[in-house]
Amino acid sequence: MEKKKIILLSATFFLILVLIGFVIWKFFYRSNYYAVYLSTGDIYFGKLVCCSRYILEDSYYLRVSQDQGAPISVERFQDAFWAPRGKLKLNSESVVWIVRLAPTSPVVEYIEARAQGKIVPQQQIPSTPQDLEGEIE
């Protein structure tokens, strides 16, 4: 009976240590967001879920527009006008660099505030083929 108590106490102590470690890890290493720069010049942000294949979850991209008021914005990839779904799988041959973003990064703060509903995204006006009719002819 004494041996079972020792085993039970040891297991409980181990689980408490694991739980404390997890809480500390979540607190100090809160940001799981990365920036990925591609050879095309595009920059994507998101949670890197697989290092060997470059898969981003909860992905965003840097959008450059002609709008003088807001020439650069961070947009959620799933909100693009073609309505992509699922995880973003990047071509590993196109990846120039990957960097982990700090929890204090303005991009991470924006993404987290948007996820919590503190920021309402602006309605996007997609560039459609009609916008390019004069250039195609």
Rounded Cα distance between 7 and 30, Å, is: 33
pLDDT at residue number 25:
63
Q: In this predicted model, which residue has the larger pLDDT, 1 or 91?
A: 91
The structure tokens 């309505």 sit at 83
Query: CA distances (Å), 25 to each of 29, 52, 71, 103, in order?
Result: 5, 23, 37, 13
Q: Is residue 51 assigned to a domain?
A: yes
Residue 131 has pLDDT above 70, yes or no: no
Q: In this predicted model, which residue has the larger pLDDT, 23 or 14?
A: 14
How many structural domains comprise the chain?
1
Report the mean per-residue pLDDT for the chain: 79
- When pLDDT is averaged across residues 24-46 and rounded to a whole number, the result is 81
pLDDT at residue number 101:
92
pTM of structure: 0.62
Q: Is residue 13 assigned to a domain?
A: no
Q: Is residue 60 assigned to a domain?
A: yes
Q: Is residue 72 assigned to a domain?
A: yes
Q: Residue 55 sits in a domain of what CATH number? A: 2.30.30.100
Positions of E strands within the chain: 33-38, 43-50, 55-64, 72-76, 88-89, 95-100
Q: Is residue 50 assigned to a domain?
A: yes
pLDDT at residue number 45:
93
Range of the domain at 49: 33-122
Q: Is residue 113 assigned to a domain?
A: yes
Residue 128 has pLDDT above 90, yes or no: no
User: What would the pLDDT profile of 69-114 be if each residue is shown by its tens digit?
Assistant: 777 888 888 888 788 888 889 998 999 999 999 988 999 988 888 8
pLDDT at residue number 121:
60
